[in-house]
């Protein structure tokens, strides 16, 4: 495949840029979560979803390119094997691939942090509702998976 390195370079450049944009969107989402601004949170969530969709489309394109080059994208190390076969003496493609893997790992970490912030906000709101409803605060319990157990029993806020 004579134009493989060129196509792969373009694809990896797009993936790296998209991962960086997703990381930026996650930072915006964290700011919105911390600032409790629903409008900004909705915008950040929409931007995040768009970047995720684009990243998934690029991953699909990369998998197709791997198959065209005789590699099975489902097999671990398929990208590394392809990179080793391509003419890339300076290692720029391998460096770009590592940059993408690092960027995606940072995105996953930031997304977990944002999820934890959202969960804490949800607990705060639930506790405030319990106080308004005259119910005792719910004790913190955990499921076998380690996730917090929640109870969603509805109660009236007041009586007329």
CA atoms within a 13 Å half-sphere pointing along the CA-CB vector of 132:
12
Question: Which two structure tokens, joined as six digits, stand for 49?
Answer: 């979803």
pLDDT tens digits, one per residue of 35-87:
877 888 889 899 999 999 999 999 999 999 999 999 999 999 999 999 988 87
pLDDT category of residue 2 using cuts at 50, 70 and 90: low
Q: Which of these, 72, 66, 107, 101, lies nearest to 86 by C-alpha position?
A: 66
Give me the residue spans of the domains in the chain.
4-132
pLDDT at site 157: 53
Please list, in sequence order, all residues whose beta carbon lies within 8 angstroms of the beta carbon of residue 52, skipping any fewer than 6 positions away: 22
Higher pLDDT among residues 20 and 118, named by residue: 20
Please list, in sequence order, all residues whose beta carbon lies within 8 angstroms of the beta carbon of residue 6, skipping any fewer than 6 positions away: none
pLDDT tens digits, one per residue of 114-141:
888 888 777 767 777 777 877 776 666 6
Report yes or no on whether pTM surpasses 0.85: no
pLDDT at site 20: 96
CATH topology of domain 4-132: Methane Monooxygenase Hydroxylase; Chain G, domain 1 (1.20.58)
């Amino acid at each position: 495949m004579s134009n493989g390195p060129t196509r792969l370079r373009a694809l990896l450049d797009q993936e790296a840029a998209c991962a960086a944009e997703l990381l930026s969107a996650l930072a915006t989402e964290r700011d919105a979560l911390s600032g409790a601004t629903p409008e900004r949170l909705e915008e950040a969530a929409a931007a995040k979803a768009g970047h995720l969709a684009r990243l998934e489309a690029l991953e699909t394109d990369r998998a197709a390119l791997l198959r065209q080059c005789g590699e099975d994208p489902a097999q671990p190390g398929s990208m590394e094997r392809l990179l080793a076969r391509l003419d890339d003496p300076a290692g720029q493609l391998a460096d770009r691939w590592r940059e993408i893997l690092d960027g995606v790992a940072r995105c996953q970490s930031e997304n977990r942090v944002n999820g934890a912030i959202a969960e804490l906000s949800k607990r705060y709101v639930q506790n405030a509702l319990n106080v308004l409803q005259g119910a005792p605060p719910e004790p913190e319990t955990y499921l076998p998976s380690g996730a917090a157990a929640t109870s969603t029993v509805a109660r009236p806020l007041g009586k007329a």
